[in-house]
Amino acid sequence: MMVLCLDFGNSQLKYACLDNDQLVTSGFLNEAKFSCIYPICQNYPIDSILLSSVIDVPTDLIHALQEIAPFHQLSVNSRTEVNYQEYDKSSLGVDRLAIAEGAQILYSGRNHLSICLGTCITYNWIENGYFKGGAISPGLLLRTKSMHDYTAHLPVITQQRDFPLFGQSTSSNLLAGTMYGTLLEVQGYITELRKQDPSVIVLLCGGDAPYFISKLSGWDVHLEADLIWKGLGALARLN
């Protein structure tokens, strides 16, 4: 079964084709228009389409996708493997639904914490199949941009894989505060949750995850770059 998954986030429009849970291709779209998606449908035998979007989607695009294959737009009413009896599912973004589902598919029977480093940093904690809670904080771009936008003289810095604990200039101070501050936040959440559940599996995903995975060596953290696609593929089958 070939599933076309569309993930429309705040800063990027992405797509992936999965054949029986195996990632076949993935990439980025310039615009949320059918003209950008149609070539993908021409190149692959699409059996179903699942759309996850945190932005408004043009009605004409939805109608066009419905003409291609059975279509489902992910929402709080979608069927899931994760149990939300103990959490207000209606307050959870569809991107987090997909990440939670992907983690549950990969680590069914285990408790897990999924940390997604994207526009925002999100934390999803699932215990015994139940979504127990989470957290949201600003991502790297939001942190660096806000310090520039809301001050008179602080520059915009670029994220880097190598960053100091403390800097020796304004730019390196900003780099240390942004990058190392984020790392310490992530490590702090892992530390506190492992006090409650030492066996919890920790997963890292999102576009900014590569900046930190080497810094988390020894922390027993699993990089799952395709976690959201695995979740969307699973949700496509369920719905």
Residues known to be catalytic: 95
Q: Is 94 annotated as a binding residue?
A: yes
Q: Is 84 annotated as a binding residue?
A: yes
Q: Is 222 helix (H, G, I), strand (E, B) or coil?
A: strand
Q: Is 33 annotated as a binding residue?
A: no
Q: Is 7 annotated as a binding residue?
A: yes
Residues 215 and 162: their CA atoms lie apart, in Å, by 9
- How many other C-beta atoms are found inside a 10 Å radius of the C-beta of residue 41? 18
If you count them, how many residues does the chain have? Answer: 239
Q: Is 13 annotated as a binding residue?
A: yes
Bridge-based pairing of strands 130-138 and 2-8 is unpaired
Phi/psi of residue 178, nearest 5 degrees: -75, -55
Q: Is 93 annotated as a binding residue?
A: yes
Q: Is 107 annotated as a binding residue?
A: no
Select from 98, 176, 167, 180 the least CA-distant residue to 131.
98
| 3 DSSP β-pair partners | 18, 48
Q: Is 178 annotated as a binding residue?
A: no
Which parts are annotated binding residues? 7-14, 84, 93-96, 119, 170
Which parts are annotated binding residues for ATP? 7-14, 119
Which parts are annotated binding residues for substrate? 84, 93-96, 170
